[in-house]
Structure 1
Amino acid sequence: MKYFKTTYFYRLLTVLFVLFSLQSCSDFLEQEPGSQTSITEQLATKKGMLSALNGTYGSLEANVRGERFAVYADLQGGNLKFTPTITGNNRGQITVPINLENVYSFQDLAQESDFTTFYDASYDVINQTNLILEYVDALPDATDVEKKQIKAEALAIRAYSHYLLTLIYSQAIGNTGLEMQLGIIYNKTSLSGGITYPKRETLTSTYSLIIEDIKVALDHFSDNSLLTGPSYSYFNRVNAKALLARVYLSKNDWQNAFETANDVILNAGVSLTPSENYVSQWEQTNVPLAENLLEFSVPRDSGGDVGGSLSSYFGYFSNTNYNKYVASQDLLGLYESTDIRKQLFLEKALPTLINGVFVNVNYSFTKKFQDNPGYSAFRLSELYLIRAEAALELGDLETAKNDINTIRARAKAILLTTTDNLEQALLLERRKELCFEGHLFFDLARRNKSVARIDGCLSQNCSLDFPSPKFVLPIPSKNINLNSNLQQNESY
């Protein structure tokens, strides 16, 4: 697994991000302590630049692995419910985590948004990539190929971070008039040049800028990252194309989604994990599935100790040591008896307080994220399902059916024999195959479907009818207050 180094550069960037809320760039630069390494000095050599790039991956990993984003799409869509409290006065009771209470009820507040840290951290990552891009050309000790590789990875990170913000803060494309539909602020310059107060792009423009960054990155990638560690831990030409295919899907650009997904499937040099290894590979420690195209690996310190992983939310260790999120019956009930993916759930009886009495109730923990799992950003299974959805929209029903059946055959599920109700079959297959990997709520929004949460729902709002302004979250008020040009989302 990759080791994310805690560099002074990263600490400086964090300080810089905060200070720019309070003072100008020139003020900050004038106050640099002489005993510290300035950003200019840090980014003046290839070694410093690579340390900065590695730190940016660390920031990105921490942001997507953070509880808010890591569980958001599955929690909102209905794949997840909660475990009983282990100790204390609330022992045996089931409650909603307080840091997601408003989001879970589709009642997030702009003034105290549950996602403020995600919003800020995303733009912090983007600022880091922009600093790298602004300094990389001046490196005296890097070749042109090396400079291009650094640019490629920074551009891919920038595109990916903007894309995730788009999912959270912009309605799925086409839900309102395209010329008026809001995207996000797209930052292409760092804060080192001074504070600006941009407006949100239209959603069409936002997607165009994301795609532009990815395409430039694809032109710059070489065969290998300059960073140490497993190749699947970093953006490369293959997984950047996987990102591009997903962006095209979100944009409803079916032809490009089909062609890009098809390119990855045919040319990635990666095969679907076979049936006989599928469950065991998810269960293995410290190594992702062989079909993973990008996993943001678990950070470790110099002694090899894990700093945090998705088991912090999904892990089961004993009946007195387990975490918050388990599969709902809404999800579990979708699997056929022959489906090997049913083996990916670890059923445990936990003492639960019901009508004042402790009762052992079965809860199903996912095996996908036990031990030390990294954040799985892209894997090949998703590309088959992207190609299937694009084929469906292009009218190629047989290809759509065949791609769905490829995933179902691997799972030993009953194969589709007709092209009837393919949209429903596709959505169900995505839900079963990609559960807990951050897709369901965004899939429902993209396909203009309502949310219906039944098992384990603790909210007064267990359903969300489409369309609704609550399919997106509010821009945090403090950001609106700092930038009068920043338009708030409807209903917040």
Structure 2
Amino acid sequence: MKNFKRIISFKFTLVLGFLFLFQSCSDFLEQEPGTQTSITEQLKNKQGILQAMKGLYGELEAVVRTEPFAVYADLQGGNLKFTPSLSTGSSKSRITIPANITGIYAFDDRSDDSDLVSFYGNCYDVINQTNLLLEFTDALPDATAAEKNQIKAEALTIRAYTHFLLIELFSQNYDFSADASHLGIVYNKASINEKLTYPTRETVANTYTFIVEDITTAINLYSDKALLDGPLYSYFNKTSAKALLSRVYLAKKDYKNAYDTANDIIVNSGISLVSSDNYIAQWEQPDLPVSEILLEFSIPKSDEGTTSGSMSTFYGYISDASYGGYAASLDLVNLYESTDIRKQLFLEKSIPTIVNLQPVDLKYNFTKKFQNNPGYVAFRLSEQYLIRAEAALGLDNPEQARTDINTIRARAKASLLTNNSNIADALFLERRKELCFEGHLFFDIARNKKDVSRNDGCISLLCSLAYPSPKFILPIPLRNLNLNSNLKQNESY
């Protein structure tokens, strides 16, 4: 059997795989009285803890690479369209909606059959594992104080990050209500190793407070020495934790802290933007991320170098007989100027497509960001410039905002902004162009209180969505509601 690195089949993860929060955990705890001993045995020393951490990163990578989540923000916002079906028979060359995203694509996901039910449960499983690490680490007999702090720092950051993913999907944007008193999510700070609890959803304000507390605590615990083997960019460190924090601050429109945190990364991280000359080549290189990456959840590989899946599953192009299910919409492609080198990141291919019952060669633009064996891009430096720009606008400093936008545009060889007219819209579009397919657009739309407008390639009955709407968020899965009577469903579901 192949020995996959960072695979999530460690004993720790196998045990915890049944402990999805508010799902099957109560039955499992009743049926398996030896579970607690197994967990205690796994986490009794540093080796067991580090093995569990690698399994935790493996599960987190699998969570963010699930199709409904990996394509969610760009599909909902209008950056993506579907490619013709590769299947044989009557559906060959036809445009169809993948079965596992039909609900979210129509802005009408169902609580009793949610496309994100596994994502929801798996996120809370990841969170439960971070809590177990936090609860066992201080008692390690063979770890130094610095090593214990590093373990806790990474666990706290993963806990915060996973809660942030959940609140973006299942709660309205921060200032949807004046005091952010609308429903957030359950924020889980303790494991269910000993007993099962049935908490309520926090307010959005409280949820963000807890997220910020976890990250800031973690930042003060990080050391300069990584504990896990493999590429350093595959694991959280102090810089990528700060990148998460700046994104969180921006989401809650805490512009001063968002500005200061992004600025700290830009000035002090030692990481530089990819140059214009290398921009395309670095995205095209196999296996490795671009040099400005702050965190990539790298895909597991066997000892022989093979992979079990990657982002190219959705976006890749090998031949007309082998390609991913998603291509860039012209809504996105047409935003780029002719001189913009980012247009070179689209691989244009003509593929037979059934139109009016006849096959017609239509052009599809596949992104070069996710060819070969790419991992999930969590954070990179370009986003920090655009966060600093948006925060500067919020602080009434349009000159700084224009400077940061022009830094990204100059690298892309696009025309520079010469004045501050409509600068907020220019910034929104710059984020759309620079960060496409990296999971931002739909959340940018909600944060800026814009309407969704999907045109090219939209085959939903609902191609637009006016803000505000209860359909900007997803339903809490019914099976979780049934297991926890204290959970409250989102409006309209």
TM band (smaller chain)? over 0.9
Q: Residues 17 and 171 (structure 1 numbering): CA distance in 2 closer, same or farther, change over 3 Å?
A: closer
Q: Residues 440 and 315 (structure 1 numbering): CA distance in 2 closer, same or farther, change over 3 Å?
A: same
Kindly provide the amino acid, as one letter, of the partner of residue 84 in structure 1. P
Other-structure match for 2:491: 490
Other-structure match for 1:61: 61
In the alignment, structure 1 residue 184 sits paired with structure 2 residue 188: no
Q: Structure 2 CA distance, aligned partners of 1:358 and 1:25? A: 52
Deviations 1:48-77 (A, max 9, x none): 000001100001000001111110000000
Q: Residues 425 and 298 (structure 1 numbering): CA distance in 2 closer, same or farther, change over 3 Å?
A: same
Q: Which consecutive unaligned segments of at least 5 residues does structure 2 have?
A: none
How many Å apart are 1:87 and its aligned residue?
Answer: 2.9
The answer as to whether partners of 1:24 and 1:195 remain within 8 angstroms in 2 is no
The answer as to whether partners of 1:83 and 1:323 remain within 8 angstroms in 2 is yes
Other-structure match for 2:85: 85
Other-structure match for 2:344: 343
Identical positions, percent: 58
Other-structure match for 1:283: 284
How many Å apart are 1:92 and its aligned residue?
Answer: 1.2
The answer as to whether partners of 1:3 and 1:229 remain within 8 angstroms in 2 is no
Q: Residues 68 and 480 (structure 1 numbering): CA distance in 2 closer, same or farther, change over 3 Å?
A: same
Other-structure match for 1:7: 10
TM-score normalised per structure 1 = 0.97
Other-structure match for 1:118: 119
SS of 1:221 mapped into structure 2: coil
How many Å apart are 1:302 and its aligned residue?
Answer: 3.1
Other-structure match for 2:380: 379
Q: Structure 2 CA distance, aligned partners of 1:3 and 1:191? A: 24
Kindly provide the amino acid, as one letter, of the partner of residue 334 in structure 2. G
Aligned residues: 489
Counterparts of residues 268-417 of structure 1 (less than 5 Å): 268-417=269-418
Kindly provide the amino acid, as one letter, of the partner of residue 256 in structure 2. Q
In the alignment, structure 1 residue 223 sits paired with structure 2 residue 237: no
Other-structure match for 2:40: 40
Q: Which consecutive unaligned segments of at least 5 residues does structure 1 have?
A: none
Question: Which of the residues 21, 37, 40 maps onto 2:24?
Answer: 21
SS of 1:147 mapped into structure 2: helix
Q: Structure 2 CA distance, aligned partners of 1:18 and 1:241? A: 28
Deviations 1:30-54 (A, max 9, x none): 2459xxx811000001000000011
Q: Structure 2 CA distance, aligned partners of 1:194 and 1:299? A: 33
How many Å apart are 1:136 and its aligned residue?
Answer: 0.5
The answer as to whether partners of 1:20 and 1:191 remain within 8 angstroms in 2 is no
How many Å apart are 1:481 and its aligned residue?
Answer: 1.0
How many Å apart are 1:86 and its aligned residue?
Answer: 1.6
Deviations 1:323-359 (A, max 9, x none): 1000000000100000000000000010111112111
Q: Residues 422 and 116 (structure 1 numbering): CA distance in 2 closer, same or farther, change over 3 Å?
A: same
SS of 1:266 mapped into structure 2: helix
Other-structure match for 2:248: 247
Kindly provide the amino acid, as one letter, of the partner of residue 352 in structure 2. P
Kindly provide the amino acid, as one letter, of the partner of residue 27 in structure 1. E
Q: Structure 2 CA distance, aligned partners of 1:346 and 1:30? A: 55
The answer as to whether partners of 1:81 and 1:456 remain within 8 angstroms in 2 is yes
The answer as to whether partners of 1:86 and 1:320 remain within 8 angstroms in 2 is yes
Q: Residues 26 and 12 (structure 1 numbering): CA distance in 2 closer, same or farther, change over 3 Å?
A: closer
Kindly provide the amino acid, as one letter, of the partner of residue 59 in structure 2. S
The answer as to whether partners of 1:5 and 1:51 remain within 8 angstroms in 2 is no
Kindly provide the amino acid, as one letter, of the partner of residue 417 in structure 1. T
Counterparts of residues 128-139 of structure 1 (less than 5 Å): 128-139=129-140
SS of 1:23 mapped into structure 2: helix
In the alignment, structure 1 residue 30 sits paired with structure 2 residue 33: yes
SS of 2:306 mapped into structure 1: coil
Other-structure match for 1:75: 75
Q: Structure 1 CA distance, aligned partners of 2:145 and 2:130? A: 18
Q: Structure 2 CA distance, aligned partners of 1:314 and 1:104? A: 17
Other-structure match for 1:455: 456
Kindly provide the amino acid, as one letter, of the partner of residue 343 in structure 1. Q
Deviations 1:72-126 (A, max 9, x none): 0000000000001123221111011111011001011111111101100100100
How many Å apart are 1:20 and its aligned residue?
Answer: 6.5
SS of 1:220 mapped into structure 2: coil
Other-structure match for 1:167: 168
How many Å apart are 1:303 and its aligned residue?
Answer: 2.7
How many Å apart are 1:454 and its aligned residue?
Answer: 0.3
Q: Structure 1 CA distance, aligned partners of 2:418 and 2:300? A: 45
Q: Structure 2 CA distance, aligned partners of 1:22 and 1:420? A: 55
How many Å apart are 1:2 and its aligned residue?
Answer: 6.5
Q: Structure 2 CA distance, aligned partners of 1:217 and 1:93? A: 49
Kindly provide the amino acid, as one letter, of the partner of residue 16 in structure 2. L
Q: Residues 47 and 75 (structure 1 numbering): CA distance in 2 closer, same or farther, change over 3 Å?
A: same
The answer as to whether partners of 2:311 and 2:373 remain within 8 angstroms in 1 is yes
Q: CA RMSD in A?
A: 1.5
Q: Structure 1 CA distance, aligned partners of 2:296 and 2:101? A: 25
How many Å apart are 1:380 and its aligned residue?
Answer: 0.2
Q: Residues 259 and 120 (structure 1 numbering): CA distance in 2 closer, same or farther, change over 3 Å?
A: same
The answer as to whether partners of 2:84 and 2:352 remain within 8 angstroms in 1 is yes
How many Å apart are 1:298 and its aligned residue?
Answer: 1.1
How many Å apart are 1:21 and its aligned residue?
Answer: 2.5
